[in-house]
Chains A and B, each alone.
Chain A
Amino acid sequence: MAKSDDCMRILQGLLVFGNVVIGMCGIALTAECIYFVSDPHGLYPLLEDTENNDIHAAAWIGIFVGFALFALSILGIIGIIKSDRTLLLVYIILMLITFAFEMASCITAATHRDFLTPNIFLKQMLERYQNSEPANNNDKLMIEGVTKTWDKIMLQNHCCGVLGPSDWQEYTSAFRVTHSDADFPWPRKCCAMDEQGLPISLDGCKLGVPGYYNSDGCYDAISGPMNTHAWGVAWFGFAILCWTFCVLLGTMFYWSGIEY
């Protein structure tokens, strides 16, 4: 009996420790997801236009799940220290609900990351960038968002197109409709700029002389932050869930061992 008492004490201690870790991880998850939702790289308009912004939704769920985990971990610590069956039952049920939500968020982030291929951005860029014939007002907003985002990406990262400037040559585009091929083999933002924001040599840029235009593709600059976003939500959430699983099993074991 004394042994089982000791066992229970050890289990109590372990569960309190487990809940402390869950609480801290919950806060970390909330902070991480708030960072992703705030879109520091300004890439959200691209996602919004592809109607594939489920990794954004996963981050939003992550914010609330993180906060719920923190609150529930405090409840769990109180319940374990007091050995109160009702509190622990409430804790277990609410934790299961949170577990289910976090599972949904992880799986969504992980699977939808795979949808973000170079082709989807290429198609969007060719059809939307500087498109001068929007179908309706909503379309116009999307087009402006995509154009501004691409201009920003190309200027900041010194890149052009998704896979390279030849994207603009290999495919016709909405840009090509308003800008002739002879004057604009690729957009002006692809040219190497001086301090005033003007191309260093327009002829060099049009001819494709190395050094006067940006020859890299922008796909790395786009997919890098998005990958971090998706994997951050998915794998951190997965780690939290594995830990929570163990703590929940321990709590259920503890709950069933409490005397009435």
Chain B
Amino acid sequence: LPYVPRVPSVALLGKVTATTFALERPCCIFNQHANALDSIWLVVAFANATATFRNPSSRADVPPYKQLPTAHSYMTLEMAAATYTCSAPSPAILRVGSDTACRDQATQDPCNGPLPSPGPYRVKFLLMGCHGPKAETRWSRPILLRRALSPSTIDPAPTRHGSDVVVLISILASLGTVLATAVLGALGAKVWGSLCHQDLGTSAFVRRSYRTHHIPPALPQPLPPGCRC
């Protein structure tokens, strides 16, 4: 079949994670070949192992999830053919790797377990009837899963200080210096002045306000009219 499975192009943040990925559900692809008893499997293989993969001849030969490390491929997501018909109402996304419960069980049932390594993987859909495979899609493009970095690679050091911080510090420092100098200068001048017994009126820093009684100069009094020499 000419269909190529692909990761959905819709913007989904979780469509590719470190151990899972999502696929678009193929609709109406298998209508011509499938009857009600058939099942459709998803073949997941490492990208370099697709050439060596052979379709299993019967359901008993289906490679299970546990064989992925050795056989480099497995089949999962066994669904009835009815789920992929044109009128299927279920969601249009398939999630590969979403079942963590079956990972540890030793059963041979199809297990949609999380993928153990980042891949890259290629997938294809396989239509299996009672007598063996009946149809298959093309292999998808390689799907590479996310690789997570260690948090120790994060550098928490700050970028250089903002310019407003520098302005604030410099203004504050200059204000502090001016104040300190002023106080020291005032105190120093006072101490100097009292030590040297200087005329305080001439000191620049210490001023006294002289409160003088304003004595107007005596005006020449006119002689009383009675005094005549």
**B-contacting residues of A (Cβ < 8 Å)?**
1, 4-5, 8, 92-93, 96, 99-100, 103, 106-107, 110-111, 113-115, 117, 119-120, 122-123, 126-127, 165-166, 169-173, 176, 180-183, 185, 203, 206-210, 213, 215, 234-235, 238, 241-242, 245, 248-249, 252, 255-257, 259-260
Q: Which residue of A lies closest to B97 (CB)?
A: A182
Interface residue? B13 (CB, 8 A): yes
In the complex, chain A residues whose CB is within 8 Å of the CB of B95: 203, 206-207
Question: Can you add 15 more A-B contacts, CB < 8 Å, to A110-B165, A182-B99?
Answer: A103-B173, A103-B176, A111-B165, A117-B156, A122-B151, A171-B149, A172-B151, A182-B17, A183-B100, A207-B15, A208-B13, A234-B168, A238-B168, A241-B172, A245-B175
Contact with B151, one of A106, A114, A166, A171 (Cβ below 8 angstroms): A171
B17 and A169 contacting across the interface, CB-CB below 8 Å: yes
A210 near B114 (CB under 8 angstroms)?
Answer: no
With A5-B209, A238-B172 known as contacts, the answer to whether A171 contacts B12 (CB < 8 A) is no
Give Cα A119 to B43, complex, Å: 41
Across the interface, which residues of A come within 8 angstroms of B113, CB to CB?
A: 182
A150 to chain B, nearest CB (A): 15
Contact status A165-B148, CB under 8 Å: no
A-B pair number, CB within 8 angstroms: 147
Nearest A residue (CB) for B98: A182
Report the nearest B residue to A166, measured CB to CB: B13
**5 cross-chain pairs, A with B, having the tightest CB-CB distances, nearest first:** A208-B13, A208-B14, A120-B156, A182-B114, A126-B151
**Cβ of B158 < 8 Å from any Cβ of A?**
yes
Residue contact A206 to B98, C-beta cutoff 8 Å: yes
- Assess whether A171 is in contact with B148, with CB atoms less than 8 Å apart: yes
User: Any chain A CB within 8 A of the CB of B3?
Assistant: no
* Interface secondary structure of A, over-half rule: helix
Residue in A106, A180, A209, A256 whose beta carbon sits within 8 Å of that of B168 in the complex: A106
Question: Residue of A at shortest CB range from B162?
Answer: A114
A194 to B179, CA, bound (A): 61
Smallest CB separation, A215 vs chain B (Å): 7
Asked whether any CB of chain A lies closer than 8 Å to the CB of B27, the reply is no
Q: Roughly how many angstroms separate A208 CA and B93 CA in the complex, as a whole number?
A: 12
Pair A127/B151 contact, Cβ less than 8 Å:
yes
Q: Are A185 and B17 in contact (CB under 8 A)?
A: yes
A239 to chain B, nearest CB (A): 11
Residues from chain B with Cβ under 8 Å of A119 in the complex: 154-157
Closest chain A residue to B203, Cβ basis: A256
Residues of B within 8 A of A103 (CB): 172-173, 176
Q: Does B49 count as interface, using CB distance less than 8 angstroms?
A: no
Smallest CB gap from B160: residue in A? A114
B15 lies within 8 A of A208 (CB): yes
Q: Does any Cβ of A come within 8 Å of B73's Cβ? A: no
Interface: B29 (CB within 8 A): no
Shortest Cβ gap from A170 to chain B (Å):
6
Give the CA-CA distance A113 to B164 in the complex, in Å. Answer: 12
Is B159 positioned at the interface, with any CB of A under 8 Å from its CB? yes
Q: Note all chain A residues with C-beta closer than 8 A to B176.
A: 99-100, 103
Q: Which residues of B contact A238 (CB under 8 A)?
A: 168, 171-172
Contact code string B15-35 (vs A, CB < 8 Å = 1, else 0):
101111010000000000000
Cα–Cα, bound, A242→B53 (Å): 79
Q: Are A207 and B22 in contact (CB under 8 A)?
A: yes
**Minimum C-beta distance from A161 to chain B (A):** 11
Binds A, one of B60-68, B119-127, B128-136, B180-188: B180-188
In the complex, are the beta carbons of B149 and A170 less than 8 A apart?
Answer: yes
Which residue in A113, A181, A203, A209 is a CB contact (below 8 Å) of B18? A181
Interface membership of chain B positions 191-225, coded 1 if the CB is closer than 8 angstroms to chain A and 0 otherwise:
00000000000000111111110000000000000
Q: Which residues of A contact B206 (CB under 8 A)?
A: 256
Interface centre among B171, B176, B179, B207 (most CB of A within 10 A): B179
A252–B179 Cα distance when bound, in Å, is 10
Distance (whole angstroms) from the CB of B110 to the closest CB of chain A: 16
- Residue in chain A with minimal CB distance to B185: A252
Interface assignment of B146: CB less than 8 Å from any CB of chain A: yes
Chain B nearest CB from A125 CB (Å) reads: 9
Name the CB-closest residue of B to A111.
B165
Shortest beta-carbon distance from B117 to chain A in Å: 12
